[in-house]
């Protein structure tokens, strides 16, 4: 058992490193190559990458936080893609945790090792970098607080060269203190078309401000995850180890939700639907594999009230042998290899995009998702997965969809294959780089035309 745990830990560590180093170049601090190799690697990267025009440009990235959440990690991935082509990249974290934080320290160390300069959020050096930069990218709506707090009188000079990358869908982010400068920046980039329209309507109706030129840019999977997803041996080994760790058989059927545990992500409704699916299977006397629910994204140390309620629901209904809680992790590939169906159950307006959806599709997994937000732009209902309503009214339809896929292996396989083909067609890393390149070109051109530039 200890050996198994060690193997899983090693696999998880390897995949964590891969995620943190998505698109990472051979940097000046990398001991694997001499300076000639570094120059050659960057020259080749600039020539082949759609972001090659960013070579020698100075880009300042401002993140509201540095954590294992989607926004900061996505910005880090862009930082590495820009470094690949010889772009000078500077990183600022606006809200740093007090005291020592192992996660922040580790992520900063990774960036430094790959040529990304990390600066304090406040101080003259941050101001001078913002003034000199060819492009400033604010990451998430909350990062807007950095402008007035740090740049003060210099804000008007920097606004014309800001690209604001927005990932939020929740109403509490629509505060004037966050986004009052939004109409004056060079452009905004948002992860889905439906979220673009939501932001345009919400800022106009609630805040009485207009969005700048706004671009919908779908994300893509990293090369590292794609390599694992397409390696049959790696997938099989990971599947066997994770399933043995969970105590489930190779023929059992695993439905998983992979998100940070919170009410907005819908783990409570997922477990309710799973419980209903067990009742339906029993009532209809269906001959299906033994089904399990896996909740990846738990926080064993925090044990929030919401998570306590989830565990109480499991105990109350006597399904503790069918439900497995996994601590939050950056290394999702081992779990994608081990499960059979992904459930994307984000509530209200859904996900802005929901990258875990395309990651699951890369592993040829069908997706059961809420008919809300960016999920509707990824999952083709009835083809690559099945959609159900958000909210309590979606519990029974989700339960029925789970029973449907449990009962029809050929449908699971067909949906998984079609989802994989859709990812290869439009959700790869090079697709994302191409889409971002179009935006950066336009924003740079616009900023050069501005009298403040």
- pLDDT confidence bin for 8, thresholds 50/70/90: very low
pLDDT of residue 330: 78
pLDDT at 299 over 90: no
- pLDDT confidence bin for 165, thresholds 50/70/90: very high
Is the backbone of residue 332 left (phi > 0), alpha (psi -120 to 50) or beta? alpha
* pLDDT above 90 coverage of the chain, percent: 78
Which whole number is the average pLDDT over 313-339?
95
Indicate the pTM of the whole model. 0.88
In three-state secondary structure terms, 183 is: helix
Q: What angle do CA 304, 244, 274 make, to 5 degrees?
A: 50
Rg (CA), the chain: 23
What average pLDDT does the chain have? 89
For tokens 């997803």, the residue is 229
Residues 367-377: pLDDT tens digits?
999 999 999 99
Residues 50, 78: contact at Cβ < 8 Å? no
| Token pair of 16 as six digits | 């964590």
pLDDT at 209 over 70: yes
pLDDT of residue 452: 61
Which whole number is the average pLDDT over 204-216?
95
Residue spans of alpha helices (H) in 216-304: 223-229, 232-246, 267-283
pLDDT of residue 212: 96
Q: Report residue 370 CA to chain centroid gap.
A: 17
pLDDT at 27 over 50: no
* Domains recognised in the chain with CATH numbers: 52-220+431-450 (3.40.50.2000), 223-426 (3.40.50.2000)
Q: How many CB atoms lie within 10 A of CB 4?
A: 13
- pLDDT confidence bin for 100, thresholds 50/70/90: low
Q: Pick the residue with more confidence: 15 or 155? A: 155
- pLDDT confidence bin for 289, thresholds 50/70/90: very high
- pLDDT confidence bin for 453, thresholds 50/70/90: low
Residues 47-83: pLDDT tens digits?
689 999 999 999 999 999 998 788 899 999 999 999 9
**Whole-angstrom distance, CA of residue 365 vs CA of residue 341:** 6
pLDDT at 328 over 90: no
Please list the helix, strand and coil fractions of the chain in percent, rounded to the nearest 5, in that order.
55, 15, 30
N residues, the chain: 453
For tokens 């020592």, the residue is 100
**Whole-angstrom distance, CA of residue 127 vs CA of residue 129:** 5
pLDDT at 41 over 60: no
**Whole-angstrom distance, CA of residue 313 vs CA of residue 317:** 6
pLDDT at 270 over 80: yes
Q: How far is CA 305 from CA 219, 265, 411, in A?
A: 33, 15, 38
Q: Pick the residue with more confidence: 453 or 66? A: 66
**Whole-angstrom distance, CA of residue 133 vs CA of residue 113:** 22
pLDDT at 26 over 90: no
């Amino acid at each position: 058992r200890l050996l198994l745990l060690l193997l899983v830990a090693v696999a998880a560590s390897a995949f964590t490193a891969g995620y943190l180093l998505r698109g990472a170049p051979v940097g000046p601090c990398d001991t694997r190559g001499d300076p000639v190799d570094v120059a050659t690697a960057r020259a080749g990267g600039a020539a082949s990458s759609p972001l090659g025009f960013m070579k020698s440009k100075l880009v300042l990235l401002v993140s509201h936080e540095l954590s294992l959440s989607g926004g900061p990690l996505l910005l880090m991935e862009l930082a590495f893609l820009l470094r690949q082509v010889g772009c000078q990249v500077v990183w600022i974290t606006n809200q740093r945790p007090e005291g020592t934080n192992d996660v922040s320290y580790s992520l900063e160390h990774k960036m430094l090792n790959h040529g990304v300069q990390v600066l304090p959020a406040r101080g003259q050096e941050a101001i001078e970098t913002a003034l000199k930069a060819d492009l400033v990218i604010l990451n998430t709506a909350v990062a807007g607080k950095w402008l007035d707090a740090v740049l003060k009188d210099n804000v008007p000079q920097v606004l014309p060269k800001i690209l604001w990358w927005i990932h939020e869908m929740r109403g509490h982010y629509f505060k004037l203190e966050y986004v009052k400068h939004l109409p004056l920046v060079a452009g905004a980039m948002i992860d889905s078309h439906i979220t673009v329209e939501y932001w345009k309507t919400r800022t106009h109706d609630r805040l009485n401000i207009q969005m700048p030129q706004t671009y919908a840019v779908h994300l893509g999977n990293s090369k590292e995850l794609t390599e694992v997803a397409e390696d049959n041996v790696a997938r099989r080994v990971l599947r066997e180890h994770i399933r043995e760790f969970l105590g489930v058989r190779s023929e059992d059927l695993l439905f998983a939700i992979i998100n940070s545990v919170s009410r907005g992500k819908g783990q409570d409704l997922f477990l309710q639907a799973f419980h209903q699916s067990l009742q339906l299977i029993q009532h209809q006397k269906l001959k299906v594999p033994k089904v399990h629910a896996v909740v990846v994204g738990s926080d064993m140390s925090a044990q929030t009230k919401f998570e306590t309620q989830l565990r109480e629901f499991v105990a109350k209904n006597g399904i503790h042998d069918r439900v497995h809680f996994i601590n939050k992790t950056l290394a999702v590939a081992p779990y994608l290899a081990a499960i059979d169906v992904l459930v994307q159950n984000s509530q209200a307006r859904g996900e802005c995009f929901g990258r875990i959806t395309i990651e699951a599709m890369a592993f040829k997994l069908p997706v059961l998702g809420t008919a809300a937000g960016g999920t509707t732009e990824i999952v083709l209902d009835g083809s690559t997965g099945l959609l159900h309503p958000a909210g309590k009214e979606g519990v029974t339809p989700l339960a029925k969809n789970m029973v449907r896929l449990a009962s029809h292996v050929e449908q699971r396989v067909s949906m998984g294959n079609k989802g994989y083909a859709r990812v290869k067609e439009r959700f790869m890393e090079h697709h994302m780089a191409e889409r971002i390149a179009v935006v950066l070109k336009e924003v740079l051109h616009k900023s050069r035309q501005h009298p403040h530039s």
